[in-house]
Amino acid sequence: MSMATVAERIEQGRVIALARLNDGRRLVEVARALLAGGLSVFELTLTTPGALEALAAVRAEFGDAFCLGAGTVLDRDSAVRSLAAGAQFVVTPILRHDVVRFCRDEGVVCICGAMTPSEMQTAWEWGSPYVKCFPANVGGPGYLRDVLGPLPHLRLITTGGVTAANAPQFLEAGAVAVAVGSQLVDKQLVETEQFAAITARARGFAQLARRPTP
C-alpha cells in the first residue's frame, strides 16, 4: 500500500483503533470486530507481547482490508521488523529522528509523537507527514486549536484520553484523525472475548467520524 493510499485511508477514516493489550493472541478477533463496526485503520503497539506475530496474523487474515500500523516504535530496528511483519505505517510516542528518517527513505507513512509546538514542528521538518499530539488530554481540543493557529501546515493526530465525548471536539479543532485506545479496544473486553461489544463501540466511533466538521 503506497504512502498516498495510507494517507487517504487515515484521513478518510478519521479514527485509528489503537490496541495496547496484555498479549496479541486475540488480535485477529479484535480486528474482525473492528472491521464489522466500520473501522479499518488499526494500530497495534509493540508494547503488546507477541505484537509482531499478531501484526503478521492480521495482515495474513485480512490483507489490505485493514490499513495496519505499528505503534510505540522507538528505534529503527523496531521499524524494520514492523514493516516486515506487515505494518503499513509506523507510530512513535516521542521524537525519534532515526525512525522518521527510515520511514521517509522507505516511502512509509510515519506518525511521530510530540507535545509542544517546537517538537511538532521538528517532527514535521524531519519528514513526518503526520504528528501525533500526545498525550492529547493534557491540553484538550483548545490546545490543538491554539497550536494550529500559527502552524496550520501541521497535520495532527490526537492520542491519549480520546473518548466518544471529546473525539468530535478534537476533529473540529483541526485534527485530521483521532487514535482511540481503551475507549475502543478495552483489555477487559478482549480478555473476556466480548467482541460484539468492541464492534458496537467501533460503530459508534465510525458514526462520529462521519459527522461534518465546521
The Cα 214–Cα 61 span in angstroms is 38
Rounded to 5 degrees, what are φ and ψ at 173? -75, -10
211: how many CB neighbours lie within 10 A of its CB? 11
Catalytic residue among 11, 43, 53, 119: 43
Alpha helices in 14-96 (DSSP H): 27-36, 51-62, 76-85
Q: For residue 45, what is its C-alpha cell?
A: 503497539
Catalytic, out of 119, 132, 172, 191:
132
Q: To which H or E segment does residue 155 belong?
A: none
Q: Known catalytic residue: 132?
A: yes
Residue 187 among the catalytic residues = no
In this structure, the number of other CB atoms found within 10 A of the CB of residue 176 comes to 16
Helix (H, G, I), strand (E, B) or coil at 156: strand
Instruction: With CA atoms as reference, report the closest residue to 208 among 151, 174, 168, 152.
Output: 168
Q: Position of cell 525512525?
A: 99
Active-site residue list = 43, 132
